[in-house]
Structure 1
Amino acid sequence: MVNVKRIKIGDHIGDSNEVLNIVGGAGKTGMGVVYICYHSRWDFIVALKSFQNRFLSSPEIIRSFKREALAWISLEKHPYIVNAISVDTFDERLFITMEYIPKDELGRNTLTHYLRYPISLKMALKWGIELCHAMEYAFSHGVSHHRDIKPDNIMITKEKTLKITDFGLAKLWDHTNFKLKNRNSPNKNLNNIKIFQSSKAGSIAGTPPWMAPEQFEGKSSVKSDIYSFGVVLYQMQNQGKYPFISSTIEGYEIEHKYTPLPNFNSKLFSIIKKCLRKKPKKRFSNFEEVRMELEGIYKNVIGESVPKIPDYLELHLNSQFWKGYSFQSLKMYDRAIDEYQKALEIDDFDIAVYINLGQVYTYKKKFDEAIGIINKGLTFSPKNISLLISLSDAYRYKGIILKDQALIDKSWRILERVYKANSEDLDTLSRVASYHINHSKDYNKATQCLEKYMSINPNISHPYHLFGLMYKRRGMVDEAIKWFSRAIKINPNLDSVYDNLGLLFFKKEMYDDATLMFQKALSIDSKNQDYHFNLSVAVNKRKIKRNDEILAGEFPSTLLELFERGDLEKALTFINRAITKNPHDSDLILNKGAILALLGKNKDALMYLNLALKNKPDFQLAIKIRELINQPFEKLNKKTLKIGNQNRTETETKRRVKELFQKALTDRAGGW
């Protein structure tokens, strides 16, 4: 039986699905996990979704889910719905095979990713209209209401087209035996937690921030989906903020049922307000009504015709390119090259293929192939900015690898031409800044480019990353840390930035912070050998520093603590460790002599005190302690003391040694 927790990258699910990447899992998603797989029989990348065992507790549940999911699968391909290909059981576990939506160059493929940035009214309208089309189409073809419309279930393609996913999965929640617990317990992760509980009316199911009031009572309908859509529209107009906020499930129920919608300035406010009416009968009746309202605003406010739904042929031209792009996004460059070459056999005028194929060859360090294919694309479109930038990249990286300044200069001449033609292009600005940081060392020009970039779009992490690199190169460690930290705040999934922060903290000898940064880098890219090496070095340095701190500034306080506790044996062990590090340190040798004296090992104590005085003849503390130890020995040698007096004299000696030693430990912050 396939165990979801144990499936790893490189494993096979069934006979045909090789796991390339894993998304979600325990603590990250509410229901299960998605495996990005290469389907060898179809020669295509797919997404396989599986579910936690609690949702698959009986054959009846699985059959019920399959029937509902088949309605999704049986839909003809629609531009605004993620294509569900099949529902299958592999090794007794249920999987649904779906269309894979690759991430864009900024790592985005869900609405959740886009909500980190401001979304324009035009884009919000476009995506809202597309979602309405998707819901209308699904309902008209027998798919029941969704029950979990939220940004994580709304995919966004590279072309900024919306595609809704997870149709039919609500049926999986019916008949589950999972009981809702701790409705009033605080939880910071409620946007990733679905709730389930059987009731007389039906199953309580959904994700609390987007649930309609009636869903908390086990009731749901298309109007519940309209309510959830209203929350999503609100978020698109408020940079991801929720209209209703709570830290508990019970709190969300109260918020959704009784708290008025906050006022805000937007052309969409009246539509959102109607979607979010507390009583279902006061909401829109269906998604067609919502769409008509949205299209009216699009025409009247945007002043453009509403975009048409693309037809089937428009959706499926040159699928080889999209295969290639999928492989490229997963860094499977050899397979991407194969698909792009097939795409050129179908249409050798497709500029996008030349751009991407050139990029892949550059990633593979096949610079001559990259330059050749990009130049071929330029014969069809000689002023194409993306092609010229790709050509500049190929020359630059080839020059860096070969240490050939002439190639780097050639790269700059191409880039300079592009910059003069379009100084507002963000890709161009970032590359010009990078050139000045890494090659010309003209930091003023680099700063100008990056400031211009941020003035155009301050919500992208890349210029902050480049500022960090610039200050790192200039040796301005604290300033570099500040800029890298800003980049992470915008996009917390930048492994190279975490690595750079780790290196900077390492330079500052802040090994705990360095270790944490390298661990975060590895959590994103676990196969990067540089990150593994950096982490191991940081961990070792952290151990050494901690030992050194104990043996330096922390030494007296630690020794004093052991001394005051009366734990002399442990104090002796502690000093012995220190002496192995610094065998000629007179201070440490004295410490050992004093502790041995307090343990009654006077002969050994004298040996170490004499050794300390040999290295440091004017060591007053060593002289005083030696005198105290020698005094009773001299009297004993003359046989002038009775046993009782001897014990009393030795006790007095220890008391005076202890006073001297304790005062020295208390007074000094370092050695003696």
Structure 2
Amino acid sequence: MDVYEWIEWMHGRPNRKARQRRLFGAIDHAMPNWEKALKHPAFQTWASWKHPVTNKTRLEILITLSLDNFDGLNTARLIKISQQEIDLLHRYGTLYLSPNDFLGHSSIIDNRYEVMRSLGMGGFGIVSMVYSHEIEEFLALKTIRDELLTDLHARTQFIQEADLWVNLGQHKHIVHAEFIDKIGDEVVILMELVEPNNNGLTSLQDYISNSANIPIEQIVNLCVGICEGLSHAYSMGIKAHRDLKPDNILIENGSVAKVTDFGISSLTQSTLFSSDLAGRKIEINQTTGNAIMGTLPYMAPEQFLSAKDCDERSDIYSFGIILYQLISKGRWPYGDISSLMKKVAKENVLSQYFHLHSQAKPKFLFHKLFKITKDCLQKEPHDRPQSFQHIKRMLLEAIHAKNEIDTPIEEEPVFDPWETGRKAASLLRLGRYEEALELFDEILKKFPLGVQWEFDKALTLSKLGRDDGAFDLYSKILDRDPTDLGALVNKGLLCQKSGDLTQAAQLLSTALEYHPDDINTLINLGNIAYKLKKFEAASQYYTRTVDLDSGYATGWYNLGLSFRALGLVGESNQSFTNFLQCSDPLDSRREYVMSALNQSG
């Protein structure tokens, strides 16, 4: 099917089957103007572009999403991306630049996640919209910022955030972490994608900035969602969010509030780059024991003294600031920040904010929700409402008679094997092996032929030192599919670990026969050859790994070792130099490599 045939199929809106009707209903809802987008003169050029890494055209992805998966939401998302990328062409004054001029920026992470565009940057992470070529969906991917890769505190903080996301589970009013992955040595968080509405509004800040008057019913609906999301987070062990603000509340379909960015809900970092509403960056340095963290205009008075000691009531104060902005067309409760801070020296900004939060009174508003706002903004934590459940009831009572407020009936959760599997895999990557194993066992009792879950369970057993159980599971997988790459390689590694290098080499050679360009197989065959002192063979395997990926640090390191064992000092030094250029600055092997290079002059 070419581009014209696919467009004709889409415009024909086939509706013979229920899944076709659901497909077009979902596309219409997510992007009402999609038919106009397909008629754009540059759409055919855009859809025909083939990515140089994935070797897939945009049309192939569209066909997968629409004709194969009947996934209306993600089909609409890709059509929206076509509009955005085609709009880039207008900025250069022509519709007919080479596709590479505007699509060549689309990078691939770990050959799996295709970056479509940036979604924003937080204190520790960068969030990007990505397309997963494995699960054929769009997701939000959060990675640690490049400049923090060498900051051990920041990396620890980011891993703790990932751990926290897994604990939170799934809730309607929290941005859901689909799963945690590892790319190289770095943990990344894959989250549900919350996209702008048809007016381009995504966050609560967008709604505050672009809406003249938000109806009280909509304010209450959004705020009740915030209360429910945060109440769930506290029930899962979160002590405080510590950075509740409109930018950290996303709005799905214009009506469902979702709390996000729990990055400083657990604290190890001692330095924060914050900002005020005037957009100035503020660097705050404190000892770890009483670190100050948050966004200054939304911080409770006690948060200026110690973020570590904050609790739910501190978030309630931040919520009060947000509620004030919702009912006042975006104003700050203690005056105009730009005017207040205009004459304040940068080094005094922190103390000025602390003074306002701890002493100033919110300016009075004639609004039905002002009393709730004022209660939330009390200076002492014990004077505020003590829980978000209490605030939720106050909000509902403000617009309903008390006898009209029904207590919601808790629905019995339905077991979802895919959701449970993603959580188990995330726990595995975070090193929480016993918890992961428990979930894999639960899934496999209900779905005994789940190959991916069997494989991940085997990985978990190996991490727990139960190699015999892992070996049996890999054998079981290979009985069904003798070409399974993961099972062949990992069973081979278990043989290598037990000292049976002959069987290990046989299994890995079989893997290489079916998958000749698999770097993991090549590196492990090289390692076996190296252990057997077959350095020439080892160097050949290692050379193939760096030929396939010139940025593969382990390949260069091992190649340097094998050349050194062969007495080829020049080749060894060049390999070690390449290793230094592409390895992580915190890689422990760098010390040995630099010492070896210094000794060889």
TM-score of Structure 1 vs Structure 2, range by shorter chain: 0.3 to 0.5
When normalised by structure 2's length, the TM-score is 0.45
Higher alpha-carbon Rg:
1
